[in-house]
Structure formats: C-alpha cells, structure tokens
Amino acid sequence: MKKLLLALSLTLFCVPEAFSQDIIHLKNGKDVEAKIIEMDGESIRYKKFSYQDGMDLVVPIGKVASVTYANGEIETFDEPDVPAAAPAAAPTVVYVEQGAASAPRKNQMEDPESVWYKAKENAFSVWVQPLGFALWGPMVGVGYRRGSSLLADAYIRLPQFGYTYSLVSNSPDELSGVALGFEMKSLVMRSNGGWYGGGLLEVGYTGAVYSKGALSEEDYQWYTFVFAFSGGYRFCFGQGFHLDVGIISGILLVSDNDWRYSNPANSYYSPDYDRVDDGFIAYFGMPVLSLGIDF
C-alpha cells in the first residue's frame, strides 16, 4: 500500500513537469518549445520557453501544423501551407516596446531583412565616416550591437587628412598623427532604425612641421583629449547596412605644445633649442554621417 501511494505521489509531481510548456509543431517538421502569449486568426505570439524574459516571437498560422498545450491538449490547423516559392519557415521576431499595444505590420514581421527581424540578434559591424576629410579627419571603426538596446564602437581618426584640422593648425607643411576613441550609446528601435545617444572618449597625438627645409624649420608635437556627447538616428536597411546621422559635441583638451628647431646642421639656430607652449581647452563638434554594415 505504501509503494502504491509513493508511486501515485511521484506521478502527480511528474505530470505537470511533462506538460510545463507549450509545443508548436511547424509544418517543416520542427518543434518549438514555447510559452504562448496570444493567438489570433493569422499568427501565434509566444516567448521562448527557455528565455521567457526575451522578446516576443511571432509565427504565422499557415506555417503551424499543430500545437500541444501545457495541459496536454492538442489543436491542429487546416490552413493551407505557404507557397513553395516562399522563404523557408522561420519564426520572425517582433520587437515590442514597453507598453506597446500593437505589433508591427505583417509585412515587417515576415521580412527576414527587416529591423524587427534583426533586432533580436547581437551583431558586430564595421563603419566609416568619410565626412571627416572636410573636418577633423576621417574615422574608421568597429562596433558591437547588443540586441536592440546598446551600441559600443571603437574607432581610429586620422587628423592629418582633415581639411579643417589643417587650417586650425595654421596649415603646416607636414601634418601627422592618430586618435583612438571609444563610444557607448543607447539605442531605441523604431520601424526603420532607431534613435541613439551616448558619450565618447578620445585620445590623440599630432605632429606638425612648419617652414620645412628652411633654416627655421620647426617640429611640433601635442596630445589631444576629447570628451563629448553623441546623438542621432540610425537608419537600417536590408542586408545589414545602416546609416548614422547625428552630431558629436563636447570639449577638446590640447596638451602643452613641445617644439624645437629641426633645421640643418649649418643653421644659426641650435638643434637643441626646445620650447614649450601652453595648452588650451576648446569646443569640439562635428556632424555625423557614417555608413556601416552588420555581420
């Protein structure tokens, strides 16, 4: 009798475990363990059973053969399957904003290249900002997007190729240097991209030569530090391409300028003559127009 009661107790505990999740049986033979949130005549909205804090996923009814609910009940669907020329069946992700009352349009939900489909995926990217040729130097960077909420970029800027940078440096005969920066931004997704905002930190080095080849040739070196806010809008296109349009605005710290006469040996200046000019703080700003691709 005790063995019988023990067996019945174990059965009562095990049965709920066996049906603790809904199972969506797709017509392509795949099974999806899910927590179904809502069903209508066109689609099933659900969350992954293994990650119920994640985004809502949507699968069209036409791609579902049947559903086994957590209580063991089975429901079948007789709607015709998708045409043979349609893409392979795959649940399409829908990014649902906090408090949103409705999902995106159906064509966005079913398009694998849409922002709504890609939003769930973490991605790396490469990007370039050629506008820097006219300003403070072109920028080339790599980025990481964490889902649809966070962007992190690391970049290199080449000030010697910036026209404006050359002008504010008093048009030296030779300009060289490099700047390295890191940027962290928050991203708020919309149907065709998303607003972003955050900050950046940059450290750079610049060298300049004036009166090159003359007896009074001067060789300058200085360091720069940028602390700035960045904000704008990211437009997302098919195949992972994106375009950032925005602005960078902040302060520029320039270190003391170390310089010396580097003229030929027969100069009337001593080759060991060194000077130090004071540094300064200035406004740093530039528009953003960069093109990148996720992979």
E-strand spans in 6-137? Answer: 22-26, 31-39, 43-48, 57-60, 64-68, 74-76, 92-93, 123-129
Question: Residue 197: which residues within 8 A CB-CB, separation 6 or more?
Answer: 185, 186, 229, 230, 231, 232
Nearest alpha carbon to residue 295 among 117, 123, 93, 115: 123
What is the Cα–Cα distance from 96 to 100, expressed in whole angstroms? 6
Core vs surface per residue 240-255: b (16+ CB within 10 A) or e: eebbbebebebebebb
- pLDDT tens track for 223-247: 999 999 999 999 888 777 889 999 9
Q: Which of 80, 77, 84 is nearest to 25 (CA)?
A: 77
Q: Among the residues of the chain, which ranges form H helices?
A: 2-18, 106-110, 115-118, 163-168
Check the CA dihedral 236-237-238-241 and report its sign: negative
**What local confidence, expressed as pLDDT, does residue 1 receive?**
45
At 101 the three-state DSSP class reads: coil
Q: What is the pLDDT of residues 77-128, one digit of tens each?
A: 875 544 544 455 555 544 444 444 344 444 444 444 455 444 556 789 999 9
pLDDT in tens, 132-160: 999 999 999 999 988 777 899 999 999 99
Q: How far apart are the first and last CA of the chain?
A: 63
Class of the CATH domain delimited by 123-294: mainly beta
CA distance 93 to 91: 6
- Looking at domain 2-113, its CATH class is mainly beta
> In whole numbers, what is the pLDDT of the chain averaged over residues?
79
Q: Which is higher by pLDDT, 259 or 271?
A: 259
Question: What are the sequence ranges of the domains in the chain?
Answer: 2-113, 123-294
